[in-house]
Amino acid sequence: MPTRKRFVAGNWKMNTTLAEAKALGAAVAKGVPSDSPVAVAVCPPFPWLLPVGEAIKGSAVALGAQDVHSEKKGAFTGEVSPAMLIECGCKYVIIGHSERRHILGESDSAINQKLHTALDEGLHVILCMGETLAERDRSLQERVFQRQVYAACAGLTDEQFGRLIIAYEPVWAIGTGKVATPEQAQEAHAFVRGKLRQLYGEKIADALPIIYGGSVTPDNTAGLMNQPDVDGALVGGASLKADSFLAIVKAASA
Q: Which residues are annotated as a binding site for substrate?
A: 11-13, 175, 215, 236-237
Q: Which residue ranges make up the annotated binding site?
A: 11-13, 175, 215, 236-237
Residue 36 and residue 40: Cα distance in Å, rounded?
Answer: 9
DSSP bridge pairs for 38: 6
Name the amino acid, one letter, at 18.
Answer: L
Quick check: is 169 catalytic? Answer: yes
Q: List the catalytic residue out of 106, 124, 169, 189.
A: 169
Q: List the catalytic residue out of 97, 116, 124, 189.
A: 97
Question: Is there a contact between 180 and 142 (Cβ–Cβ < 8 Å)?
Answer: no
Query: Which residues have C-beta within 8 Å of that of residue 229, sequence separation ≥ 6?
Result: 186, 189, 190, 193, 210
Give the CA radius of gyration of the chain.
17
Query: Which residues have C-beta within 8 Å of that of residue 63, sequence separation ≥ 6?
Result: 41, 42, 43, 44, 49, 52, 53, 56, 88, 89, 90, 91, 92
DSSP 122: T
Quick check: is 97 catalytic? Answer: yes
Name the residues annotated as catalytic.
Answer: 97, 169
